[in-house]
Structure 1
């Protein structure tokens, strides 16, 4: 069992408390979820608050278990404060990308910590690109950088095809946040792990190219 820092425990507890409040109070849920129309009317708090709401306990548990397993991979090399910065920045990056791609869809709504958690995951991979990760139905370990690249390529596909009731753009935006902020905090990675820094940038550059050429929609 991982020995989490107090900061990570507080973040997980905040997600649990706010989510359960949303489960039992529909007005609260509707007031603080991500909604394009409401945000455009000036309710910017939703850009932050929506990251602590979840659709159900399964959604909540999945995000918190992922955070539980990867938080220390960011906290140990960068510290508690930088972990919080990466978490919050990734949450906001994810919602900003969602807002950008859905700016003309006032009805579009979303909730969940997935953007923030994906940012932490991508940060952890950037800090240790050869970490071993396991996926369901795959009995062999996958290098972290391979998983990270594959995950974002799938997110691009999910954005293009609008697969499932999943905020693929928020996941992708969160990863961008984790990537950028981690490099700003640890610029030495550009010298020690330049190859992996470049490889992990490929999906981000691909998204930009697809968008600019009109092939994303």
Structure 2
């Protein structure tokens, strides 16, 4: 019986997030903070992806991840001795934050946390396989996955340029880009699958 890696990642993330909420010192030790990384605590590139600001932040990320993770997990199991999905997820956490680190490496006030970069990687990679699947925004509004991707990129760019909230929009963009590039790099035939699906939307009947 194969272990459900998606569920394990969710369980670990929920546990670590809860422990961090209960222990402020643990939260500060795991959060993405450039000065600490410059001093050698490079593990923060990964640990920040397992803590969240609050319950809603955690619920949104993990719900999205669970919804799309199963499809990606079945694909990535064929790589890296069955650990491909876990490696993909952890790599996405790291890669999504590299641009932010470069931009804020000397900013002692900049911090970031959450799995949004990795979740975006999973979401955008999923779209390569099923572009016309419906994504339910706020669990109620159905939007085709490909349209959601376009709107998501547009919103992230616009919101990121304003920089008037506490959301790391660039991590969403770079995480999504990583998900697409890595999936295609491992299996270039995914491109043909994507365009075939794109030109034959099953929801039209």
**TM (normalized to structure 2)?**
0.85
SS where residue 43 of structure 1 aligns?
A: coil
SS where residue 183 of structure 1 aligns?
A: helix
Q: Please name the residue that 2:60 is paired with.
A: 62
**Cα gap change, 1:29/1:82 in structure 2, threshold over 3 Å: closer, same or farther?**
same
Contact 2:128–2:191 (CA under 8 A) maintained in structure 1: no
Contact 2:17–2:52 (CA under 8 A) maintained in structure 1: yes
Q: Please name the residue that 1:106 is paired with.
A: 108
Aligned length: 193
* Structure 2 unaligned spans of 5+: 199-205
Contact 1:37–1:107 (CA under 8 A) maintained in structure 2: no
Among candidates 74, 79, 101, match of residue 72 of structure 2:
74
Q: Please name the residue that 1:208 is paired with.
A: none
Cα RMSD between the aligned structures? 2.2
Contact 1:93–1:176 (CA under 8 A) maintained in structure 2: no
Q: Please name the residue that 2:118 is paired with.
A: 116
**1: CA distance, partners of 2:58 / 2:143:** 25
SS where residue 129 of structure 1 aligns?
A: coil
**1: CA distance, partners of 2:159 / 2:126:** 23
**1: CA distance, partners of 2:63 / 2:139:** 18
**2: CA distance, partners of 1:121 / 1:53:** 19
Q: Please name the residue that 1:144 is paired with.
A: 145
**TM (normalized to structure 1)?**
0.81
Q: Does 1:90 align with 2:97?
A: no
Deviation at 1:127? 2.0
Q: Please name the residue that 2:137 is paired with.
A: 135
**2: CA distance, partners of 1:101 / 1:130:** 35
**2: CA distance, partners of 1:189 / 1:22:** 39
Q: Please name the residue that 2:202 is paired with.
A: none
SS where residue 83 of structure 2 aligns?
A: helix
Deviation at 1:196? 8.5
Q: Which consecutive aligned stretches of 4+ in structure 1 deviate over 6 angstroms post-superposition?
A: none
* Structure 1 unaligned spans of 5+: 198-217
Q: Please name the residue that 1:47 is paired with.
A: 45
